[in-house]
Amino acid sequence: MWMPEFEEELDIMDSERGDMETAYSDSDSNNAVTDSPFIYKMNNPPPPLPDLNDYFERYKRESDEKYILQFLHYYEKTLNYKADRFIERFALEKNRRDDLKQIFCQVMLSELEKFCPDDKIVFLQQIKYAVQKAWHEYVRTCCTAAYIETKNAFFNTRRVARLYYEKEYVMPYAEIVPYIAAELNLSEKTVGNIIIHSVNARYADDVEDKNKPEIPVPEKEEPDYTREEIKEALKVLSPRELRILELHAGVNTKTFEIIDSMCYDDIAMRVGYASESTVEKKLKEIRTVLKSKLLSIHNE
């Protein structure tokens, strides 16, 4: 079953015109994601078809695999980009790109068995969720230091990790486990096992720098900032970052009126992030940037 918390902000297999233009551009051009060989590159490819969907329709009508090879040749640059975005999102090793591309091909060939050209369906749109699901399954089974048996266990590990990292330096371990168990409706034994065997291991969706002191350093008292200083500091944030901050803090950043705040899960769904932990990391970045800017403005 596809779980909504795995929704990717990218339409991984989107087939809008922009993708076609990228796919049909020169595969040897200096693009941000050309640091590894093009494994599907053809030596003498024919001219591209007008639409990417034409390759799948001709493949089904003629049963000739040359159309799949041609499609991969022209689409690989876009596929590299999408795989790299997924790798960045989940902090995977860069050498995972070719694995993700092979998974895409496996899903594509499997779904082509059910594809009917007469239905006039955009094939890449049809398979995008199947590809996302397969990529996430790859993360769960192949990209973690700890072996996580099921999708449900993987989901629970991410939820436990978020709460554990929030309370790790605030509460003693003896209090953290009961707290997380009550929050997530899990047994204390289950939470303890997840923390010991999975959370303390490196796994893809919650990788971050854990170089924190064993004893937290007390923060200096923050000065009282004026509304004008806060408004000026907020200008350094992008519209998306402002929206995340508003939804989390429950304050309209333009009028300073109180609005309904949201949990990380709801914010992720609203702004199109892959998971709650991605929102948590982004909020940490926002706080760091704002704090630095506020101090700079205040001390001028």
Residue at which a domain ends, from 101, 119, 142: 142
Q: Are residues 77 and 131 in the same domain?
A: yes
Angle at 56 between CA 51 and CA 61, to 5 degrees: 120
Q: Is residue 252 part of a domain?
A: yes
Residue 38 has pLDDT above 70, yes or no: yes
Domain residues for the domain of 254 are 227-298
Q: Which residue has the higher pLDDT, 195 or 228?
A: 228
Residue at which a domain ends, from 142, 171, 193: 142
Q: Is residue 9 part of a domain?
A: yes
Assigned token pair, 98: 């070719």
Q: Is residue 67 part of a domain?
A: yes
Q: Are residues 200 and 283 in the same domain?
A: no
Q: Are residues 10 and 90 in the same domain?
A: yes
pLDDT digits (tens, 9 = 90+) for 284-295: 888 888 888 888
Local structure of 258: helix, strand or coil: strand
Assigned token pair, 52: 């990417």
Q: Which residue has the tokens 């004008």?
A: 228
Which whole number is the average pLDDT over 30-46? 68
Predicted confidence at residue 16, as pLDDT, reads: 41
Q: Are residues 131 and 105 in the same domain?
A: yes
Q: Are residues 106 and 182 in the same domain?
A: no
Residue 151 has pLDDT above 80, yes or no: no
Residue at which a domain ends, from 142, 174, 189: 142
pTM of model > 0.75: no
Beta bridge partners of 251: 258
Exposure string over 5-41, b if 16+ CB within 10 A, otherwise e: bbbbebbbbebeeebbebbbeebeeeeebeeeebebe
Which whole number is the average pLDDT over 27-41? 55
Q: Are residues 8 and 53 in the same domain?
A: yes
Which whole number is the average pLDDT over 92-98? 82
pLDDT digits (tens, 9 = 90+) for 233-279: 888 888 888 888 888 888 888 888 888 888 887 787 777 776 777 88
Predicted confidence at residue 37, as pLDDT, reads: 65
pLDDT digits (tens, 9 = 90+) for 109-137: 999 998 988 887 889 888 988 898 888 88
Measuring CA to CA, which residue among 48, 6, 11 is closest to residue 27?
48
Q: Are residues 135 and 8 in the same domain?
A: yes
Q: Are residues 22 and 49 in the same domain?
A: yes
DSSP string spanning 3-70? -GGG--SS-TT---HHHHHHHTS-TTS--TT-SS--TT--SSPPPPPSSHHHHHHHHHHH--THHHHH
Predicted confidence at residue 105, as pLDDT, reads: 93
DSSP state letter for 170: T
Local structure of 135: helix, strand or coil: helix
Q: Is residue 62 part of a domain?
A: yes
Quote the CA–CA distance of 234 and 245 in Å, as a whole number: 10
Q: Are residues 104 and 10 in the same domain?
A: yes
Give the count of domains, the chain.
3
Residue 213 has pLDDT above 70, yes or no: no
Mean of all residue pLDDT scores within the chain: 75
Residue 28 has pLDDT above 90, yes or no: no
Predicted confidence at residue 239, as pLDDT, reads: 86
Q: Which residue has the higher pLDDT, 83 or 24?
A: 83
Quote the CA–CA distance of 123 and 55 in Å, as a whole number: 10
Q: Are residues 240 and 156 in the same domain?
A: no
Q: Are residues 16 and 110 in the same domain?
A: yes
Q: Which residue has the higher pLDDT, 30 or 111?
A: 111
